[in-house]
Amino acid sequence: MPHPNLAVLFLTRRANITSGTNVVMNQRLSKQYVIEVRTGDEPISGTDSHVFIEIVGTHGTTGERAMKYSYNANAFESAQTNYFRLSCTELGHIKKVNVRNEGPAAKSKWKLDEIRIWQAANEKLKYDFPFCGWMDARISVDMMRQELWHDPVDKARERYKYEIKVTTADMPNAGTDASIFVTLYGELDDSKCQRLEADQGGRTSRLFWKRSSDTFSVYVASNLGCLTKTVIGTTSLGSRASWGLENVKVTRSRKTGNSIGDFTKEPSTTKLCNRSGK
């Protein structure tokens, strides 16, 4: 893998500092960590928002840092992999990361696929934090911030593809202009919050018409097992935020392609509340 010219992250600790007090940074920055951030390749996955990260290890934490100045002039674009370098004291074994999408921006939503972290002097030991979910600063606090834990057992780094077929009811005013989010819950894991979007000819197609059936591909970080429930809803934004949902059918795109979930809802124009999957 090529080694780009990595830039140092800027410390952006949030603290109340008394006016006139001189703050002296006397902590020795002895270690450097490389952060690899992969943005999803789904339509409009990229963001213009500021993104922050905190790395927590067995020996301490970095505090919250702003991820700035990767080798790409414009970071966090669709299907892009960005690299950052962070200087701090020895963290020990890395346990988790806290990621925050600050917003606001014209493109505030962001599809984060995965974060990988390693110490610059030891590339053999890498910590993987798969997510494959959306972070949207416009919606709610629980979608702005995510806590991702390192799983040392998960070495496959395989993404699982699920196809979701959504049918809008055949009734007056059933269609919607709002964005739709879904979270799949299985016996083994959940999909995190996923935005349902389709791309045709480089632009987002018109979705969720009355009497229409729309099919989407959603990638998740782990096998969910047998599905137990699905949570689906709108952002409650737009001139036609109400939506008449008839049913949702979920298929995992593996060798057999068998349907593993069929969820039916009585036709209704009730405005559904967006959920984060927590």
In the chain the domains, ranked by start, together with CATH numbers, are: 10-15+24-149 (2.60.60.20), 160-264 (2.60.60.20)
Distance CA 157, CA 170 (A): 41
pLDDT score recorded for residue 151: 72
Measure Cα distances from 263 to 118, 168, 176, 188, 271 in Å: 42, 13, 20, 19, 18
Positions of the chain with pLDDT lower than 70, given as ranges: 1-29, 104-106, 137-143, 152-158, 198-205, 235-239, 254-278
pLDDT score recorded for residue 219: 79
For 146-161, write each residue's pLDDT tens digit. Answer: 889 887 655 445 678 8
**How many CB atoms are located within 10 Å of the residue 63 CB?**
14
Taking the complete model, does pTM exceed 0.95, yes or no?
no
